[in-house]
Structure formats: C-alpha cells, structure tokens
Chain A
Amino acid sequence: EFHFGPCHVEGVALLELWKAFGAMKDIVVTQDKIMSVRLLKQEVFQNVSDAESCYLAHELLKFYLHTVFKDYYHKVVEFKIMKSFSTLANNLFVIMSKLQPRQENETVSIRESAHRRFLLFWSAFKQLNTEAALTKAFGEVDILLTWMGKFYRH
C-alpha cells in the first residue's frame, strides 16, 4: 500500500501500474521528439517532505487524469493500447480518489510548497504545444511512478 505521509492508500499494486505502463512505453516515448525538455524535472520531487507528498501526489494525479490521460486518448486508440491504458488510468484513479489531503489552516504552508512544485511541472507543460506536451507528459509517467514508488510499502 502507499503511505504519502498521513495519506494511506490500499488496493493498488505498484507492480500492476508498471506492467501497464511498460506495455505502452515504447510506442508512446518514440512519439516524443523534444528530447531536451523534461516536464517532471528533478526540482519537482527534490526533498519532498512526507507531509507535502500527499498534496503533490493528489495534484499531479488529478492533472494527469483530468487533462493528460483524457486529452491523449485519441492516441491511445490510434496505438491500440486501450487495455493497458484502462488498467493504469483506473488504478491511478483509485489512488487519487483515496488521497484526502487535509485542508486545515496549519497545512497552508505545506500545501503552498507542494503547489509550487506542481507549478514547475505545469508551467513547463504549458510552454509546449498541446500535442507535444501531452505526448511528453504521458511518456513521463515512469518518472511519476518512480517517485510514487518511494512511498510504497509491501
């Protein structure tokens, strides 16, 4: 299960996420022509505190599910990877739904810190044209899973 600081998530096996993404990665990454840019830069995840991790995970997963996965789906159909995509999307949806980051006053600074990290990713995303940004973001799911893996307990 995942322990993003105070937020615990059961019922999702990290291995299943890697298997699902692994089945799509080759075809997705070859579409990414802009090798000099990385959206999920090191600074996004550098020294993330446990307390921040729940907010950051929730915000990233929400963006990925609401925007990246949704708007990239025409490519998923084109590449005929709907089954693996569905496994990945539905399991990430389970995680996002179960992450209930607290919203009290004393967590404002932590939330803002996590949001600044998200904005690093988001602003880089916005600087690319839409198709290129979606392709690169989807191709960087392995970077996201690697970071999430640090909070996974067998």
Chain B
Amino acid sequence: DPGAVVPAPQNLSVHSANMKHLLVWSPVILPGETVHYWVEYQGEYESLYMSHVWIPSSWCSPTPGPECDVTDDITATVPYRLRVRATSGPRASAWSALKPPFNRNSTLLLPPRMAVRKDGSHLVIELEDLGPQFEFFVTFWRKAPGAKEHAKVVRSVGFPVYLGAMEPGAVYCVKARALVRAIARRSAFSQAQCVEVQGEALPL
C-alpha cells in the first residue's frame, strides 16, 4: 500500500565482543515491499557541540538486513548515539534511537584462543589475531614444585612467538589474557595449555 506509513525499527541493541560491535534491531515487515535500513551515529563530541549532526554509518547507509557492523564507526572511547530508520521506495519511517548510547568500554573481552606447541626444545605460542587494538599478556611456567612463573607481553600476532627453551622430560604450561589499552581493560585468562618435552629429565 503506497500510502501506508513505514513503521520505525524496534528493539535496537548492540552486541559487542572483543571490540567488534554489531547493532541489531527487529525487522520491519511490509508484505510485498522491499525494506532497506539506514544507520547513523554521533559521538559525544557531536552530541555536545553539534547535536544536529549525524554521520552515515560506514557500511549501512543503506543495508537490507536488520543488523549493522558499526565497529569502524565507533572509534573513540566515548558514548555513541546510534539511530536507524526503514525505507520502502520513497517512504521512510521515523528514526529509532538506541537507548542508552553505546560505549565501547562495555565490550565483552573473551579469553584469547591460543595454540601452544614445541619447536625442538623451544616453547612456542600462537595467538589469534583480534585486531590492532589488542595486546596479550602471556605467562608460562615449568610444571614443578616451586617453579617460577615467567611473563611476556605480545603485541603482534598471527605468527609463532618463542617463549623460551625447555628442559628434556619437563612439562611446561602457558596461559594468556587479552589487553585493550583503548578501553583500559583486559580479559580473563585462557585455560592453561601444557606440553611435555621428550627425553630424560636432567639430574638435579
């Protein structure tokens, strides 16, 4: 019905994990019509100094589905106001605003996935690449009474990081957590992963 009002999208929320932010909402159903959505945002600066200013989202102006990856739009640790409207042909709905505004410091930081292995007599770890804002705090130790825990901050990922030499016959364990300076937060530690070095244990 060309004259019918386009309802505004409802139930806006942001699902954010590991600094990836997805704005979602309930789809607008108009039988027989093609609906598109337009997403806009403003940071705290815009809302305080120029509240009339709204910036089109990088990937969702327009978008066909009821979701929008706003990660590239949220580029400061301040509250961001987000709004969505639906269109069908020339007709547009009212804007729906996300309430409360979203701040990336609320993102869910998950323990990082890692692979621990031996390379000869060396303890090696490989961490998942979560993007440039992530660093990793890695601790490793020899599984033995009174063994000292070592620590290392890993800034670049996507390739093996050598943690240290291992002694034959010993077991070494590793765990890691993610750090994000932009929001001054860190994740929980991952489960420890251990590897055993072949060969005879050296006499003490």
Q: Which residues of A contact B (CB under 8 A)?
A: 1, 10-13, 16, 20, 65-66, 69-70, 73, 82-83, 86-87, 89-91, 93-94
Contact = CB atoms under 8 A, between A and B. Distances in A.
Given A10-B184, A11-B183, A86 B49 contact: no
Nearest to B54: A82
B49 A87 contact: no
A94 B73 CA distance: 16
Q: Which range holds the interface residue count of chain B?
A: 20 to 34
A91 B76 contact: yes
A11 B46 contact: no
B182 interface: yes
Contacts, number: 61
Interface string B154-192: 000000000000000000000000000111100000000
Question: A-side binding surface: helix, strand, loop or mixed?
Answer: helix
Interface in B31-86: 42-46, 48-50, 53, 55, 58, 73, 75-78
A70 B52 CA distance: 12
A86 B75 contact: yes
A70 B48 CA distance: 10
B75 A16 contact: yes
A89 B184 contact: no
B50 A90 contact: no
